[in-house]
Amino acid sequence: MEKEMIVNRPDNSKMYHPHMPTAWWFRKWSYFLFMLRELTSVFIAVFLVVYLFQIYHITQGADAYWEIAGQFRSGGWIAFHGVALIFAIYHSLSWFKTAAVILTPRVGGWMVPPWMVVALHIAAWLAASAAVLMLYVLI
């Protein structure tokens, strides 16, 4: 018969139970950067919705597209796209850093160092961006 383990637990009512302060993410630089990374997702999501909206208008013909494109030339939208670009770069770099944690590839007995995993991701990212730019120039 299995013996039941007897565990002595401290009395919950006699303990002090601390609470996380609401502004916990201001307490450490790394927490702040984490919250910033989470916030970047909101900007990227809004950018993607706007982008899909523009693509939809391309399918409606050149006039429909240029009409909507004109509205995105306002200062507010340009500022939004600037911020969204910075956040997208920050978000992507933080993802590459994550990839270096998750992917620990081995070549023979040699483990590819994390900085190389990040560098390869950045190289692939730059190559993909260059290919998109080429398409844009050619079309």
Footprint of another protein (CB under 8 A)? 7, 9-10, 12, 14-18, 20, 24-25, 27-28, 30-31, 34, 38, 98, 101-102, 104
Smallest gap, in angstroms, from Cβ of residue 138 to another protein?
36
Smallest gap, in angstroms, from Cβ of residue 103 to another protein?
9
Nearer to another protein, 26 or 77 (CB): 26
Looking at residue 63, its amino acid is: D
Nearer to another protein, 14 or 73 (CB): 14
Nearer to another protein, 16 or 115 (CB): 16
The residue among 124, 71, 97 whose CA lies nearest residue 132 is: 124
Nearer to another protein, 35 or 83 (CB): 35
The residue among 18, 26, 118, 40 whose CA lies nearest residue 84 is: 40
Alpha-carbon distance 89 to 95, whole Å?
10
Nearer to another protein, 44 or 68 (CB): 44
Smallest gap, in angstroms, from Cβ of residue 107 to another protein?
15
Alpha-carbon distance 78 to 84, whole Å?
10
Smallest gap, in angstroms, from Cβ of residue 14 to another protein?
4
Exposed/middle/buried for residue 53 (C-beta within 10 Å: 0-12, 13-18, 19+)? exposed
Which two three-digit tokens encode residue 78? 């340009």
Return the H-helix or E-strand segment holding 129. helix 114-138
Smallest gap, in angstroms, from Cβ of residue 100 to another protein?
9
